[in-house]
């Protein structure tokens, strides 16, 4: 997983400064209402086979999936993020390869590979996103599935001249995106409550990450280029119907069964 600063969008890893507070900044994603349906679907797709998580990070999804008895392997570009995974119960039993999720191959015969929580957009060019599909497809078993959870660009919410749109407003975290509709690049801005200072004043951290947003139809074409076909698309992990008003989607592409 890769973080980026604003301006020239030079990549920097989720390093020792970012990794220790990463979970706090996405605390809303750890609720059972989110993780329960996520793990249910991935366990169903894995069956008796193995799972591969790209951008495994601190193990938000991998750990509960492994607790269900699914053998999970991971890829991540950040050693600091993986160190956070290793410090959690069961984290030392999940094999993780340090590498770029677009090009790193770690094995073959996976029943399911997945990218959760908008992580496909961390690849900042269309070529990188296409290569990610190809790399994953080469590692799937016959009939294996590639699952992506990602937001649908909410450009309809932006009147002419507006370049920013909020995506999360909570007690500990506020986030909004600034968008360039020509390049399909956006920068997410995160303000996260980080406790209080010596005078009792609330302190917040600020971080940014750059993304290349991608449309569902564009992802379907990337899948076809990699030899995959769309099997299912839902609005969320709970398998609710995907509609024109959906703010996100969970899509499943599969390889040929033979």
What pLDDT is stored for residue 160 in this prediction?
86
Per DSSP, which regions of 79-223 are E strands?
A: 96-98, 110-115, 140-151, 164-169, 173-180, 185-196, 202-212
List, as one string, the DSSP characters of 47-101: TTSEEEEET-TT-TTHHHHHHTT-EEEEEES-HHHHHHHHTSTTGGGS-EEES-T
Write down the H helix ranges in 140-239.
216-225
User: Which of 82-113 are b and which e, b meaning 16 or more Cβ less than 10 Å from the residue's Cβ?
Assistant: bebbbeeeebeebebbeebbbebebeeebbbb
- Topology of domain 2-153+215-254, per CATH? Rossmann fold (3.40.50)
State the pLDDT confidence band at 69, using cuts at 50, 70 and 90: very high
Strands 248-254 and 229-234: antiparallel
Paired with 112 in beta bridges are: 51, 145
Tokens of 167: 């995506």
| 1-46 confidence digits (pLDDT tens) | 333 333 344 444 576 676 776 777 677 788 888 899 999 999 999 9
Residue with tokens 């992990």: 237
Candidate from 16-25, 54-63, 103-112 with smallest mean pLDDT: 16-25
**56: how many CB neighbours lie within 10 A of its CB?**
29
Helix H or strand E segment including 182: none
Q: Alpha-carbon distance 210 to 208, whole Å? A: 7
**CA quadruple 120, 211, 185, 156: dihedral positive or negative?**
positive
What pLDDT is stored for residue 15 in this prediction?
64
> Is pLDDT larger for residue 6 or for residue 222?
222
Average of per-residue pLDDT across 108-112: 97
State the pLDDT confidence band at 246, using cuts at 50, 70 and 90: very high
Domain regions of the chain by residue span: 2-153+215-254, 155-210
Average of per-residue pLDDT across 82-88: 93
| 150-175 confidence digits (pLDDT tens) | 999 888 778 888 888 888 898 888 98
Q: Alpha-carbon distance 218 to 134, whole Å? A: 14
Contact between residue 208 and residue 6 where contact means Cβ atoms under 8 Å apart: yes
What pLDDT is stored for residue 171 in this prediction?
84
Tokens of 34: 């989110």
**178: how many CB neighbours lie within 10 A of its CB?**
16
| 122-152 confidence digits (pLDDT tens) | 999 999 999 999 999 999 999 999 999 999 9
């Amino acid at each position: 997983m890769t973080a980026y600063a604003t301006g020239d969008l030079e990549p920097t890893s989720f390093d020792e400064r970012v990794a220790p507070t990463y979970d706090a900044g996405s605390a809303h994603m750890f609720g059972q209402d989110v993780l329960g349906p996520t793990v249910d679907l991935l366990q169903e797709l894995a069956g008796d086979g193995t799972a591969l998580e790209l951008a495994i990070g601190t193990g938000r999804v991998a750990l509960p999936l492994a607790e269900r008895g699914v053998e999970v392997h991971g890829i991540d570009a950040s050693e600091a993020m993986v160190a956070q995974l290793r410090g959690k119960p069961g984290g030392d039993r999940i094999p993780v390869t340090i590498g770029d999720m677009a090009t790193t191959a770690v094995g073959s015969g996976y029943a399911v590979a997945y990218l959760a929580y908008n992580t496909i957009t961390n690849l900042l060019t269309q070529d990188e996103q296409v290569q990610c599909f190809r790399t994953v497809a080469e590692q799937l078993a016959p009939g294996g599935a590639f699952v992506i959870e990602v937001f649908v660009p909410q450009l309809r919410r932006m009147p002419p001249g507006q370049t920013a749109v909020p995506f999360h407003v909570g007690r500990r975290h506020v986030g909004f995106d600034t968008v360039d509709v020509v390049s399909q690049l956006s920068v997410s801005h995160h303000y996260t409550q980080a406790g209080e200072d010596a005078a009792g004043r609330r302190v917040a951290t600020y971080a940014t990450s750059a993304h290349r947003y991608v449309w569902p139809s564009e992802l379907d074409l990337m899948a076809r280029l990699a030899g995959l076909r769309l099997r299912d698309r839902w609005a969320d992990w709970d398998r609710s119907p995907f509609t024109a008003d959906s703010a996100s989607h969970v899509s499943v592409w599969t390889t040929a069964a033979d």
